[in-house]
Amino acid sequence: MAYLLPVGPWHPALDEPVVYKLEVAGNKIENVELDLGFNHRGVEKVLPELLPHQILAPTAQICGKCSYANTLAVAMVLEKLAGLEVSSRVEYFRVIAAELERAASHLGSIARTLRLLGIRLTAARLEEEAEGVRQLLAATGNRVYDTFSVLGGLMRAPQVSSEFLNAADKLRKNIYESVNQLLDNRQLEHRTVGVGVIDPAAALEWGLTGPVARASELALDTRRTDPYAAYLEIEARLVTQRRGDLFARLTVRGLEALESLNIVNTALRNLPDGDLRTPLDMPPFPAQQETTSLVETPRGQLLCYAASDEDGKLARLKLRPPTVANLPAIALTLPGQEADDAAAIIASLDFCFACAER
């Protein structure tokens, strides 16, 4: 006999308020429904009402997991709309911050999944290393939220000392060891291989993005397909897996965290010269124009759309975060799985509802 098992809106396995309604027969999940709307703040209505130089600060506060990625996308689209060009030095610093955020996000996501699987020792080590990455990110002025990006450049330059470079290199080696141990963990492999599988054809049909798509063998990464900022000069290695299961998603995030530290190392050692800020003319936007930007966040492709009105004021600023694209993954992974695996499967999809319901 089937019964309804609600999880949320507040539950130890959930980072954010959301309700998963699992229809369970025996111990098998037959169907799943989502109740959303607990995180809505009306951000997209508020942003166009602000002055251009005020927009990035509330954008950074949308989410603590994707703050630098969100501000990068909004800064790029507004600078493009205004016809404003930033220096290569600014682009390098923005990419460094975005990759540090990606590494911290991926390591934290893996750690949360491992804790739900009962693999606490490895989870604790990854949490410690995620915090180490956040401490490097603090060189920008804040370890969680972006407080150094402004339209046309940066508010300040991170202090890249020899100690910072040495700390980044040491952390990169530690993460390399941790990822190797993660992939050699037979207990983890036994618990996760063949669990929560997403078929590549289904992933492509439903338009999944980010590590969830790359774990199902889809070679989709905006840093490579539509390179932007310093990715025009620094190549990001594409990480994919074939199985599309829970283990594949953990593997992709682990290897991408390591690749992010490699990109940071390359960018730090090849920083170009240039101004930190390009002045913004007033009024900044031409009349009745529109444009878009694409950024690869830790969870996948973020689309940002901006349009101006007949007076040259910002009329619309729209964000389409990757979690919106990845929501169908719930219906692709949970039905047919053991109810005991539901929390780990959900964690492996790494949703961010603060962004999705902004």
Per-residue model confidence as pLDDT tens digits over 316-344: 889 999 988 898 899 899 888 888 888 88
d(CA 240, CA 217) in angstroms, rounded, equals 5
Q: Is 56 exposed, middle or buried (0-12, 13-18, 19+ CB in 10 A)?
A: buried
Give residue 283's pLDDT.
67
Q: Report the pLDDT averaged over residues 235-262.
A: 92
Is pLDDT above 80 for 62? yes
Helix (H) or strand (E) holding 93: helix 88-116
Name the percent of the chain lying above pLDDT 70.
99
Q: Are 200 and 248 in contact (CB under 8 A)?
A: no
Instruction: Compute and round to an integer the Cα radius of gyration of the chain.
Output: 20
Q: Give 216's Cβ-side CA count (13 Å radius).
A: 24
Interatomic CA distance for residues 295 and 229, integer angstroms: 10
Residue 356 has pLDDT above 90, yes or no: no
CA angle (179 as vertex; 321, 251 as ends), nearest 5 = 50
Mean pLDDT over residues 62-81, rounded? 87
8-state DSSP, 209: -
CA distance 227 to 229: 7
Distance CA 105, CA 258 (A): 12
Q: What global pTM score does this model have?
A: 0.93
Q: What is the pLDDT of residues 76-110, one digit of tens each?
A: 999 898 888 888 898 999 899 899 999 999 999 99
Q: Are 188 and 111 in contact (CB under 8 A)?
A: no
pLDDT in tens, 150-189: 888 888 777 777 777 888 888 888 888 888 888 888 888 8
Strands (E) in 49-175, as ranges, are 149-150, 153-154
**Closest to 123 measured CA to CA, from 131, 135, 115:** 115
The beta-strand segments (E) located in the chain are 2-7, 19-25, 28-35, 149-150, 153-154, 290-297, 300-308, 314-320
Mapping DSSP to helix (H, G, I), strand (E, B) and coil, where does residue 123 land? helix
Phi first, then psi, for residue 340 (nearest 5°) are -65, -25
Instruction: Please state, for a pLDDT cut of 90, what percent of the chain lies above it.
Output: 26
Domains and CATH numbers, the chain: 41-356 (1.10.645.10)
d(Cα 343, Cα 328) in Å, to the nearest integer? 16
**Comparing 242-246, 258-262, 300-304, 349-353, which segment has the lowest mean pLDDT?**
349-353
Query: Is the pLDDT reported for residue 214 higher than 90?
Result: yes
Say how many C-beta atoms besides its own lie within 10 A of residue 233's C-beta: 15
Rounded to the nearest 10 degrees, the angle between the axes of helix 67-82 and helix 88-116 is: 150
Average pLDDT, rounded, for the chain: 86
By CB atoms closer than 10 A (0-12, 13-18, 19+), residue 94 is buried
